[in-house]
Copies of this chain bind each other. A is one copy, B any other.
Amino acid sequence: YLLLPDTSSIDITVSSPAEPKGKRPPVLVDGVTLNGPTLDIREAESFLRDAMPIIMEEAVWKATDVKEKVCEWRSPEQLKDLLDLELREGGEAHPQILQRCRDAIRYSVKTGHPLFFNQLYAGMDPYSLVGRFITEAINPSLYTYEVAPVFLLTEEAVLQKMIEIIGWQEGGDGIFSPGGSVSNMYAVNVARYHHCPDVKVLGLSALPRLVMFTSQECHYSVAKAAAFLGIGTNNVYVIPSDKRGKMIPAEFEKQVQRAKDEVRRRTMNGVSKVVWCQICYACWGGGALMSKKHRYLLQGIHRANSVAWNPHKMLMAGLQCCAFMVRDKTNLLQRCHSAQASYLFQQDKFYDVSYDTGDKSIQCSRKPDAFKFWLMWKAIGTKGLEERVDRALAMARYLAEEIKKRDGFRLVMEPEYTNVCFWYIPPSLRDMADGPEFWRNVHAVAPVVKERMMKKGSMMVGYQPHGDKANFFRQIIISPQVSREDMDFLLDQIHSLGMDL
């Protein structure tokens, strides 16, 4: 409960009625002297003037220079001491804050560095970066046309072009979301609303039990979505995949039958109806759609009812940039998510309020994530995006062929896209017979090599186990700043870091 302020204590006094002409006298209200602005704009200018060269030099140019380190590893305990994290009563002077900026940059991982291969994003695009600086300076939120005209229109333009590239000839609709996982939640929510519009008002407790089908190799956000949206992870039916990770059609049929049987057994009325919404999670792979040569990898994507595609990954638009798109043309996103807040989405505005698209979203304030992508796209064109994708795929192919040529390296499988998964086998294990003991030993190699590369700061590549497969390296190629020599360096480096194991 909020208490009412004691208005009797409010004291409004014109403290000096004899101020110089033109300047208004200050007023004392509730213990605070009010007159001009209290933010010293000269001081702010001088701070930004000093800070910007540090950012450009340390966080942009050095951070993307192949001759510099990818990271300057410190343990959590060391770094806590170095950063002096505590927030205190008093502030700090500019030189100290500038040093904090330098330290924050120094101990951060340089994700734009050519030798950062650790995640499904990498590299630095100068146009996207300028787009991001603009939006951070302007600080917009995308509820309504009134407060974000440029950013809503660029979002619409980007979505329409992406929808065209997916191949939905009748068009579609979409929204940028804070991450592929949230896009997947959108997809599930829109699908269930499409088939059971009552869910919005009545909730799942009033509906027959709903189930989801997904591939064994799906992203972990499918489980997160099932839990968050109240469906439950047990109601996700997982379809086994073949050795290359492709869903097996015959197994799909079996899972559908299993779900029908189980739902029938558990529901009172015995009804189980199967309806379909096909959801395509192309957050990472969507980039291939830009390439005439490689878009066959996503053959059939236009048959999906919804698509999640993150240009911050393969297309280097900068985190975050995540489009969720639906083939629907009946305002499904709006109907499914709207709550019609009267303080934002007034209907008596003087412009066409169909441009106030914020109520399509589950968010209220929302960042302008499409603008940086739009600006980059304008600068390098569809052709420029295509060339980057083609080059990254060729580079992955080159790396895979090098791996096959080298002793002690073994591909987990032939790459299809730009993820190249491989084992490094140190000399001590090369003569050991293939078997459980061999793989137990191999399993222990990648974590040690990773530790050594992090502590050296020479490069970063991820590793993981998968099913019954021992830990392997998962190399991701994205950025046009990656050179062929970097691929050779990567393999040399892994060998030199792990040859004694």
Contacts and interface: CB of A to CB of B under 8 A. Distances in A.
Interface in A309-357: 310, 312, 318-320, 336-337, 339-343, 346, 348-352, 355
A492 interface: no
Contact of A30 (B201, B377, B397, B450): B397
B119 A147 contact: yes
Given A37-B482, A39-B480, A205-B205, A111 B87 contact: no
Given A109-B147, A136-B133, A100 B30 contact: no
Contacts of A37: 66, 114, 480-483
A79 B149 contact: yes
B129 A1 contact: no
A154 interface: yes
Given A88-B382, A230-B230, 15 more contacts: A1-B246, A38-B388, A76-B149, A83-B154, A91-B381, A92-B378, A108-B148, A200-B232, A202-B232, A202-B235, A203-B235, A220-B339, A310-B365, A312-B365, A346-B464
Contact residues on A (Cβ < 8 Å of other chain), bracket: 35 or more
Interface in A270-300: 285, 293, 296-300
A141 interface: yes
Nearest to A158: B87
B447 A348 contact: yes
Contacts of A75: 351-352
B133 A105 contact: no
B363 A181 contact: yes
A416 interface: yes
As for how many copies of this chain the complex holds, the number is: 2
A51 B319 contact: no
Interface string A35-52: 111110100110110011
A479 B48 CA distance: 18
Interface in A199-224: 199-210, 219-221, 223-224
B484 A24 contact: yes
A227 to B, nearest CB: 4
Contacts of A371: 104
Contact of A383 (B90, B388, B448, B471): B90
A393 B30 contact: yes
B447 A350 contact: yes
Given A39-B479, A201-B232, A230-B203, A101 B129 contact: no
